[in-house]
Chains A and B, each alone.
Chain A
Amino acid sequence: GQNIDQPTEMTATEGAIVQINCTYQTSGFNGLFWYQQHAGEAPTFLSYNVLDGLEEKGRFSSFLSRSKGYSYLLLKELQMKDSASYLCAVRALSVHTGDFKTIFGAGTRLFVKA
């Protein structure tokens, strides 16, 4: 089957660095996404990894290891506005339909405190 695991909640301090982990089990892997979702709002795209390694985009970086089925999102210089849920999503080939589909994790709620 296909499964995505990420911690339910994390707390970090303003100005610090936080790493949000995501592990997945899937066949036909074709890319991993991270989305940010503020309370009551829609998810917005943060990053996309399809090859192993680190992708850096400003204060946010995302890492992927396909052999380990593992990714993390790294947030640096945390700001209060970074308090949100962070969704890990995997794009994979559906063995039933032969089409690609995106599977979302339940999300990690990050609290940034002063």
Chain B
Amino acid sequence: DVKVTQSSRYLVKRTGEKVFLECVQDMDHENMFWYRQDPGLGLRLIYFSYDVKMKEKGDIPEGYSVSREKKERFSLILESASTNQTSMYLCASTDNRGRSQETQYFGPGTRLLVL
């Protein structure tokens, strides 16, 4: 089974703090994604990566950055956390093989509260 793990389930930070959210997948997937999920808005793509050291902006990249130094790890960074970044953050990975191409395998999510 594919396993996607995230470093924290719950996180509380203060405005202005730098926040690191880590995601690791163990199935050698090429593609990794960071989403945020807010009530009534669905999943919105922040950043994604198709390869090591490669990153692409999603729909709402402002206030975020990412790092992919190793294939299995994709980090989301909030340089200076703000209260409007309080949300559920979901990491996902996909492979490029077969009919399940682009089926997204999600991590358990990190619920971030910024005070």
Question: Which residues of chain A have a CB within 8 Å of any CB of chain B?
Answer: 4, 8, 31, 33, 35, 40-45, 48, 87, 89, 91, 97, 99-102, 104-107
| Most chain A beta-carbon contacts within 10 A, residue among B56, B103, B107 | B103
Q: In the assembled complex, which residues on chain B have CB atoms less than 8 Å from the CB atom of A4?
A: 42
Partner of B106, one of A44, A91, A97, A101: A44
Q: Is the CB of A42 within 8 A of B90?
A: yes
Q: Is the CB of A87 within 8 A of B45?
A: no
* Complex A-B: 18 CB contacts under 8 Å: A31-B102, A33-B103, A35-B104, A40-B109, A42-B90, A42-B108, A44-B106, A45-B105, A87-B42, A89-B43, A91-B102, A99-B56, A100-B102, A101-B45, A102-B45, A104-B35, A104-B42, A106-B41
Chain B nearest CB: distance from A106 CB in Å?
Answer: 4
Per DSSP, chain A at the interface is: strand
B100 to chain A, nearest CB (A): 7
Verify A87–B108 contact, CB threshold 8 A: no
Q: Which residues of B contact A (CB under 8 A)?
A: 4, 35, 40-45, 56, 58, 90, 99-100, 102-109
Q: Quick check: A43 and B100 within 8 Å, CB to CB?
A: no
Q: Known: A42-B109, A43-B90, A97-B56. Contact between A105 and B103, CB under 8 A?
A: no
Distance in angstroms between the alpha carbons of A35 and B35 in the assembled complex? 15
Closest chain-B Cβ to A55's Cβ sits at a distance in Å of: 11
Contacts of A101 on B, CB cut-off 8 Å? 45, 58
The answer on a CB contact under 8 Å between B102 and A45 is no
